Amino acid sequence: AAATRLAQPDVLLQTETSAVEILRNDTVLSASLWANVALAGLAILLFVYMGRNVDTPRARLIWVSTLLVPLVSIASYSALLSGLTIGTLEMPAGHALAGESVFSPWGRYLTWTFSTPMILLALGLLAGTDTAKLFTAITMDVGMCVTGLAAALVTQSYLLRWAFFGISSAFFLVVLYILLVEWPDDAARAGTADIFGTLKVLTVILWLGYPILWALGTEGLALLDVAITSWGYSGLDILAKYVFAFLLLRWVAGNEDAVATAPDSATASAAAD
Ligand code: RET
C-alpha cells in the first residue's frame, strides 16, 4: 500500500508535459534557439575584433552598446535552452488553444528589455541626439518590452492579453515616432544621415515584424505553431541584431572622425539660438 501511495505523484507528473520535455522532443524548435547561440558567439568575436582600433569616447560608447546586443542575446538564448526561462501556460477561454498547456518562451520577451535599449542607445548616439530624446526612446522601449511580457504571460482572460498588446504597441509608437521623425533631423545635423537612414529603415521594418509575429503566433491568434513562431523570432533577431550591429560597427570603425566630431543636437540648437 505504501508503495502505491509513493508511486502516485509520479503518475500525476507524467500526465503533463513540461516545457523542457517539449523543447527536448522538438528538434526544429530547439534548433531555432541553438542557431542564435552560435551566431551570437560569432558576432561577439567579430565585433570585438572590429572595434580593436576604435578609441574616441563617443565611438567607443556606440561600440560597447552594440557589442552588448549579442552579449545579451547569447545569455538570453542559453537561458531558454537551459529551461530556466521557459514554461507552459494554460490559455484562457477565447484563445485558439484554450485550456491546453502551451509552450511559452517568456525569457525572450524579458531579455528584449535589456537588448533593445542598447540598439536605441547606439542609434541615438549615431544621430547625435540629445539626452531627453535618448531617455524618451529608451524608457518607452522598456515600457514596450515589459508590457509585451505581460501580454505573453497573462492568462486571466483573453481580452487582457490583447489589452497588454495594445499598451505595448502604444509605447512602440513613441519609439517609431522618434526613429522616423526626430532622429533623422538630428542625424542630418550631425552629418550621419546616410548610415542613419539605412539603419533606420532596417530597424523600423524588422521591429514591426515582432508585433505581427506575436499576433499571428502561439501567444496571439495561434495561426502559427510553436516551432514556426520561434523560428520567426530567431530570424528577426538575426537580422535586427547581428546584421544591424555589423553594419553599424563597420561604419563606425571606418568613420570614427565623423562620430567623434558630430555635434550634440542640444549644443547645436543652443548655438543656433
Ligand atoms: C511585442 C508584443 C506586444 C506589442 C509589441 C511588441 C513589440 C516587440 C518588439 C520587439 C523587438 C525586439 C528586438 C529584439 C532584438 O534584440 C512585445 C511583440 C509592439 C518591437 C529588436
Each residue of 65-106: pLDDT tens digit? 999 999 999 999 999 999 999 999 999 999 999 999 999 999
CA–centroid distance, residue 172 to ligand 1 (Å): 8
What is the atom index within ligand 1 of the atom nearest the CA of 109? Answer: 17
Using CA atoms, how far residue 70 sits from 54, 124, 156, 252, 266, in Å, is 19, 19, 34, 17, 31
Ligand 1 contacts CB of residue 116 (under 6 A): yes
Say yes or no to pLDDT of 10 above 90: no
Counting atoms of ligand 1 from 1, which one is nearest the CA of 219?
2
Instruction: State pLDDT tens for residues 19-29.
Output: 999 999 999 99
**Pair 200, 184: CB distance under 8 Å:** yes
- Cα(155)–Cα(28) distance, integer angstroms: 26
Residue of the CA atom closest to atom 11 of ligand 1: 207
What is the rounded distance in angstroms from the CA atom of residue 137 to the CA atom of residue 142? Answer: 9
237 CB near ligand 1 (under 6 Å):
yes
Q: What is the pTM of this model?
A: 0.91
At 21, which helix (H) or strand (E)? helix 19-25
At 17, is the pLDDT very low, low, confident or very high (cuts 50, 70, 90)? confident
- How high is the pLDDT of residue 9? 55
Residue 16 — very low, low, confident or very high, per pLDDT cuts 50/70/90?
A: confident
Torsions phi, psi of 52, nearest 5? -60, -25
CA of 145 to the centre of ligand 1 (A): 6
In whole angstroms, what is the distance from residue 76 CA to residue 85 CA?
Answer: 8
Lowest-pLDDT range, 15-29, 165-179, 229-243? 15-29
Q: Cα–Cα distance between 176 and 170 in angstroms, integer?
A: 10
> What's the N-to-C CA distance of the chain in angstroms?
88
CB atoms within 10 A of CB 251: 20
pLDDT of residue 246 exceeding 60? yes
Q: Is the pLDDT of residue 135 over 60?
A: yes
- Average pLDDT on 182-187 reads 98
Phi, psi of 128 (to 5 degrees): 65, 35
Is 263 strand, coil or helix?
coil
Mean of the per-residue pLDDT values of the chain: 92
Q: How many residues does the chain have?
A: 273
Is the minimum distance from the CB of 211 to ligand 1 under 6 angstroms?
A: yes
Q: How far is the CA of 196 from the centre of ligand 1 (A)?
A: 21
Task: pLDDT band for 257, please (50, 70, 90 cuts).
Answer: confident
d(CA 161, CA 175): 21
Q: Which residue has cell 500525476?
A: 12
Instruction: Say if ligand 1 is within 6 A of residue 245 CB.
Output: no
